[in-house]
A and B are shown apart, each in its own frame.
Chain A
């Protein structure tokens, strides 16, 4: 006969304010099987846990009910607690009297009665609980990092430095990501290339890191410690082992197209590296536009290549590899300001986005770092910067704040003055959000030392008049409309999720929010993990972040991976499905409906080795304990350990009894 101990937590005033915890403890003491019942202010604290441990010893308790918060928060805490006191960790039931009771009710009597019901159900169940044990699962100590921007690179470097293997997958021809497009970084004005490119080279030369550029993750299966990942290595049409990166091919290539890396402001060739510092420094042929692939003539690159590295016959290669952990660092896209018809983006050549402005500043950009406006290649004098383009705007874009725009607007206003000494920056803003180390001071500097004029208000319209852009807006602090004759307008377009973010999230088992940003497991306490074990987040794929925050999170994700890999083995969740081979008829409906492909047929034989019958068999590593097979089984031959029929029905009976 089970001896149940019941521990009612106040959670400070979170529970005790609405639920009469004394009364619940008293009622619990009278329940069948309960040998001990008490209440305490913070059961999860050290004194609270000691109280549980002492009671187990003193009252010879065999099963424990903790009535407190959601098991998602503290079930691991109390499992550890009772196992330290010598009980099997699965002899615990949590009654959630906070989220399911005190937080959602305001009638104290009714809430108290409900709390008693919840405790009674937990007591009834725990009396039927059985000790469960985990299995050791080996870990493949190799990580997959998806996305070769600064977040992915940092994650890969940190994991590699700890001595583990990393594969870094990047879908464009080079790692570097968005940061490679930037000129300088706020608030210190370090040159982005000077701090990023050494990291890119480190990643390439680190023996623990394998870079798969121009490659994409196609499929992910398996589970923490043992993911099977299919990766498509797109055909580069250049043999990486032969290419020396001399660049002769793209110098001679006759086909020019608009450069994605320069945001349409410059051109690249059909065979190209996106930027001179590309890693790997091996070009790819864009088969969509290459004259050989499109028209069947040319082959100039093949003729010019001194090492014979050009290979038009290359085909995509699809590989499958095992990884123990996956870090998603897939980054972001930018919002298309054409949604705002009144700003004339896409119609007026000198209305550009901030990312395009970065390219015009960048020494390796289309203007070699000279700030020249696209329409006539003249340096602009009056430049208007407009914040919140597509962010903080329910009507046209997204309601969220894109977080980094206030800072790069200040940076651009400041750098403008440095590049063109008689230039004047105007910044239209809604609020200035400069909450980082040295950030507020930086914005002040742009205003006070560099004379950027900040106007609090929105722009209603931009009109091209001759070679000027007439910018009309409101100065809400002066309470007046303003009109500025500008030479160039720069739109701070919002960060938005990658167009295929939803698809990537589905592959990796990550849930997404309403905008398709990746959701963390807990917004405060588990910010780099997701609900699928073994998958972590780094950088903007989660939400807009600047470089410092992205790099910090990247190191956080890396430390989670290193923590996982530092264990010799993983312990499997014992709450998995189990087949009663005596009653199983081998219909294998469960195999059909299992979402994790965790069920296989198994042939039973007699002692002589003659086949007797086929039954279902559960792979405990793959089983997630979802219970679909349990519901599907016609003879009730599959049961979920920890959630067996008799255990759940005991809960229901207890509720009926209380009524």
Chain B
């Protein structure tokens, strides 16, 4: 299986560990990821707040480049995926838009490929293919699977999992031997788009999510979105300052936990990049395993 890979700005900066771990587990699972040459920013979130045409043209250029490679695109970041998939649908649904993009922006896209999130590209392999690669089961690790508000929405466009009652990440975690907890905040908003403009709202929203995960008995949170991960991971110190409540819940990318279960060298998974130290949880895992 080979995909055109669109890392997006996050995976080259704040979410390097997502990039690193994604490539690592793709290798294990036999997924070939070929980075799109000369890719550009998908435009999130500024472009679609300001200019509709630009919000399609920017991501569509990347999709069109993938089409010229003859490959479906995989975008690990939820925001990138949403923009790429949105541009793809906008052109597939509307021949006038396709014409406009070609004539005004010089982007020729014929709609012959599909756009996938990394989560769906991995989930589609099936439980058995994932289980087959597991070398160290994450036995007893209680994870809260956090999908965020964007990855699966709008459902009619994404066409993967159930946006209101998602289960794909939970099933992958179960394949690794971990115990996904049942909790209510799987797809609540973490407030990422207000990160810079209204941080006080973000602090409240992330606290709600972390509290719910803790009440459900989770030892860690697992995400598939760099914005969610950054918010939940980095805001824990702000929460402590504002509310005097300490969580110390590590927030992993699902690819990091997959890598650990697949026996990858932790140094290849960027675990040191996490703000909340995952070591105690992972140590606990080792002792549970024994």
Within 8 A of B (CB), among A466-487: 466, 470
Residues of B within 8 A of A341 (CB): 162-165
Asked if B212 and A463 make an inter-chain contact with CB atoms under 8 angstroms apart, the answer reads yes
Minimal beta-carbon separation of A335 from chain B (angstroms): 16
* Chain A, 453-505, CB within 8 A of any chain B CB: 461-466, 470
CA distance A466 to B188 in the complex (A): 18
Interchain CA distance A342-B185 in the complex, whole Å: 11
Knowing A465-B212, A465-B215, the reply to whether A342 touches B165 (Cβ < 8 A) is yes
Contact residues, A73-92 vs B (CB, 8 A): none
With beta carbons under 8 angstroms apart, the residue of A342, A461, A466 that contacts B215 is A466
User: Does the CB pair B185–A344 fall under 8 Å?
Assistant: no
A463 touches B164 (CB 8 A): no
Within 8 A of A (CB), among B146-199: 162-165, 182, 184-185, 188
Whole-angstrom distance between the Cβ of A348 and the nearest chain B Cβ = 9
- Given known contacts A463-B184, A463-B185, A347 and B165 CB-to-CB distance under 8 angstroms: yes
Contact with A along B66-79 (1 / 0, CB 8 A): 00000000000000
Give Cα distance in the complex from A560 to B106, angstroms: 71
Chain B residue nearest in CB terms to A470: B184
> Is A340 at the interface (CB under 8 A from chain B)?
yes
Q: Closest B-chain residue to A346, C-beta based?
A: B165
Contacts of A463 in B (CB 8 A): 184-185, 212
B residues near A342, Cβ cutoff 8 Å: 164-165
Cα distance, A213 to B32, chains bound together (Å)? 63
Taken together as a complex, chains A and B put the C-alpha atoms of A461 and B185 apart, in Å, by 10
Residue pair A464, B184 in contact (C-beta under 8 Å): yes
Chain B residues whose C-beta falls within 8 Å of the C-beta of A465 in the assembled complex: 184, 212, 215
Quick one: which of A347, A463, A466 has the most chain B CB within 10 A?
Answer: A463
A182 to chain B, nearest CB (A): 30
A345, closest chain B residue (CB): B165
Q: Which chain B residue lies CB-closest to A464?
A: B184
User: Interface range on chain B: under 10, 10 to 19, 20 to 34, or 35 or more?
Assistant: 10 to 19
Contacts of A340 in B (CB 8 A): 164
Determine the residue in chain A with the shortest Cβ distance to B163: A341
Q: How large is the interface on A (under 10, 10 to 19, 20 to 34, 35 or more residues)?
A: 10 to 19
A463 to chain B: closest residue by CB: B184
Query: Interface code A345-360, partner B: CB below 8 Å = 1, 0 otherwise?
Result: 0010000000000000
Contact partners of B162 in chain A: CB under 8 A: 341
- Which B204-235 residues have a C-beta within 8 angstroms of A? 212, 215
Interface of B, secondary structure class, is loop
- A336 CB, min distance to chain B CBs, angstroms: 13
Residues of B within 8 A of A462 (CB): 184
Residue of A nearest to B164 (CB): A341
Q: Which residues does chain A contribute within 8 Å of B184, judged by CB atoms?
A: 344, 461-465, 470
Chain A 204-229 interface 0/1 with B at a Cβ cutoff of 8 Å (1 = within): 00000000000000000000000000
Q: Mark A322-351, 1 if CB is under 8 A from B, else 0.
A: 000000000000000000111010010000
Point out the residues of chain B lying under 8 angstroms from A344, CB to CB. 165, 184
Q: Which residue of A lies closest to B184 (CB)?
A: A463
Nearest CB on B from A367, distance (A): 26
Tell me, in angstroms, the Cα distance from A13 to B188 when the chains sit together.
Answer: 59
Name the residue on B nearest A340 (C-beta): B164
How far, in angstroms, from A462 to B187 measured CA to CA in the complex? 12
| Identity of the chain A residue whose Cβ is nearest the Cβ of B161 in the assembled complex | A341
Q: Write out the residue numbers on chain A whose beta carbons fall within 8 Å of the beta carbon of B182.
A: 347, 464
Please report the C-alpha to C-alpha distance between residue A284 and residue B215 in the assembled complex, in whole angstroms: 47
Complex Cα distance, B163 from A461, in Å, reads 12
Looking at the assembled complex, report how far the CB atom of A77 sits from the nearest CB atom of chain B, in whole angstroms: 51
Q: How far is A466 from B182 in the complex, measured between Cα atoms in Å?
A: 11
- Residue of A340, A347, A465, A470 with most chain B CB atoms under a 10 A cut-off: A465
With a CB–CB cut-off of 8 A, which chain A residues contact B165?
A: 341-342, 344, 347
**List of A residues within 8 angstroms of B163 by Cβ:** 341
Residues of A within 8 A of B212 (CB): 463, 465
Task: Give the residues from 340 to 384 in chain A that come closer than 8 angstroms, CB to CB, to chain B.
Answer: 340-342, 344, 347
Give the complex CA separation of A341 and B184 in angstroms. 11
- A466 CB contacts on chain B under 8 angstroms: 215
User: B residues within 8 A CB of A464?
Assistant: 182, 184
B224 to chain A, nearest CB (A): 18
Q: Which among B162, B163, B184, B215 has the highest number of chain A CB atoms within 10 Å?
A: B184
Bound complex: CA of A347 vs CA of B184, how far in Å? 11
Q: In the assembled complex, which residues on chain B have CB atoms less than 8 Å from the CB atom of A461?
A: 184, 188
Find the A residue at minimum CB distance from B185: A463
A540–chain B nearest beta-carbon distance, Å: 29
**How far is A470 from B215 in the complex, measured between Cα atoms in Å?**
14
Alpha-carbon gap, A344 to B164, bound state (A): 9
| Cα–Cα distance between A461 and B164 once the two chains are bound (Å) | 9
Q: How far is the CA of A360 from the CA of B252 in the complex (A)?
A: 44
**A472 → B minimal CB distance (Å):** 9
A347 contacts across to B, CB distance below 8 A: 165, 182
Q: How far apart are A36's CB and chain B's nearest CB, in angstroms? A: 61
Residue of A nearest to B166 (CB): A341
In the complex, the chain B residue whose C-beta lies closest to that of A472 is: B188
In the assembly, what is the distance between CA of A470 and CA of B185, in Å?
11
Please name all residues of chain A whose beta carbon is closer than 8 Å to the beta carbon of B215 when the two chains form the complex. Answer: 465-466
Give chain A residues whose Cβ lies under 8 Å from the Cβ of B188: 461
CB distance from B266 to the nearest CB of A (A): 34
Give chain B nearest CB distance to A340 CB in angstroms.
7
Chain B residues with CB under 8 A of A470: 184
Greatest chain B CB density within 10 A among A341, A347, A462, A466 is at A341
For the complex formed, measure the closest distance between the CB of B91 and the CB atoms of chain A, giving whole angstroms.
Answer: 24
Report the Cα distance A463→B215, complex, angstroms.
Answer: 12
Tell me, rounded to whole Å, the shortest Cβ–Cβ distance linking A423 to chain B: 23
Task: Using CB atoms, name the residue of chain A closest to B156.
Answer: A395
Question: Distance in Å from the Cβ of B239 to the closest Cβ of chain A?
Answer: 18
- A341–B182 alpha-carbon span in the complex (Å): 14
A27 to B236, CA, bound (A): 90
Q: Smallest distance from the beta carbon of B150 to chain A beta carbons, Å?
A: 15
Q: How far is the CA of A344 from the CA of B188 in the complex (A)?
A: 14
Taking the closest CB of chain B, its distance from the CB of A416, in whole angstroms, is 24
Q: How far is the CB of A346 from chain B (nearest CB, A)?
A: 9
- Cα(A342)–Cα(B276), bound, Å: 30
Tell me the smallest distance from the CB of B92 to a CB of chain A, in Å: 21
- State A463–B144 Cα separation when bound (angstroms): 14
A344 to B182, CA, bound (A): 12
Q: How many angstroms from the CA of A347 to the CA of B165 in the assembled complex? A: 9
**What's the minimum C-beta distance from B180 to chain A, rounded to whole angstroms?**
14
- B residues in contact (CB < 8 Å) with A: 162-165, 182, 184-185, 188, 212, 215
Q: List 22 A-B contacts (CB under 8 A).
A: A340-B164, A341-B162, A341-B163, A341-B164, A341-B165, A342-B164, A342-B165, A344-B165, A344-B184, A347-B182, A461-B184, A461-B188, A462-B184, A463-B184, A463-B185, A463-B212, A464-B182, A464-B184, A465-B184, A465-B212, A465-B215, A466-B215
User: Which 4 pairs between the two chains have the least Cβ-Cβ distance?
Assistant: A463-B184, A341-B164, A341-B165, A342-B164
> Chain A residues in contact with chain B, CB under 8 A?
340-342, 344, 347, 461-466, 470
Known pairs A461-B184, A463-B184, A470-B184; list 15 more (Cβ under 8 Å): A341-B163, A341-B164, A342-B164, A342-B165, A344-B165, A344-B184, A347-B165, A347-B182, A462-B184, A463-B185, A464-B182, A465-B184, A465-B212, A465-B215, A466-B215
